[in-house]
């Protein structure tokens, strides 16, 4: 599975509250760096998404995926995903770029930038 094939389902899993699928996509030592906090560890991140995130009525619209596919399935690669987050009642919340570091077939790290 290449890096793009790992990154796209990440947003579907979050939007559809499919936390088992989300867990399967992430490396055990997953780290998510976002403007407001850093979440260390796959279990910490999935628990945050399931129980603590401020908004659960959101959907991600992906506008572009930019991949560095220079390695094979066993090496680290990077994918930048540009998109917008929408709230069910209030429309566009913000734009984002997530830089996914994919190690083999797992997301090892995401660094989120927002506008």
pTM of the model: 0.90
Distance CA 10, CA 100 (A): 10
* Sign of the alpha-carbon dihedral angle for 32, 88, 64, 5: positive
Domains within the chain, CATH numbers bracketed: 3-114 (3.10.450.50)
The closest alpha carbon to 13, from 42, 49, 55, 54, belongs to 49
Distance CA 68, CA 75 (A): 11
In tens digits, the chain (115 residues) has pLDDT values of 677 888 899 999 999 999 999 999 999 999 999 999 999 999 999 999 999 998 999 999 999 999 876 655 556 899 999 999 999 999 999 999 999 999 988 999 999 999 9
């Amino acid at each position: 599975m290449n890096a793009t094939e790992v990154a796209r389902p990440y947003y579907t899993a979050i939007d559809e509250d499919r936390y088992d699928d989300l867990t399967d996509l992430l490396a055990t030592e997953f780290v998510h760096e976002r403007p407001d906090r850093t979440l260390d560890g796959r279990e910490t991140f999935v628990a945050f998404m399931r129980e603590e995130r401020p908004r659960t009525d959101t959907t991600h619209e992906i506008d572009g995926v930019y991949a560095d596919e220079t390695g094979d399935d066993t090496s680290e690669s990077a994918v930048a995903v540009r998109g917008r987050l929408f709230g069910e009642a209030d429309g566009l919340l913000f734009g984002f770029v997530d830089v996914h570091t994919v190690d083999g077939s797992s997301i090892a790290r995401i660094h989120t930038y927002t506008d």
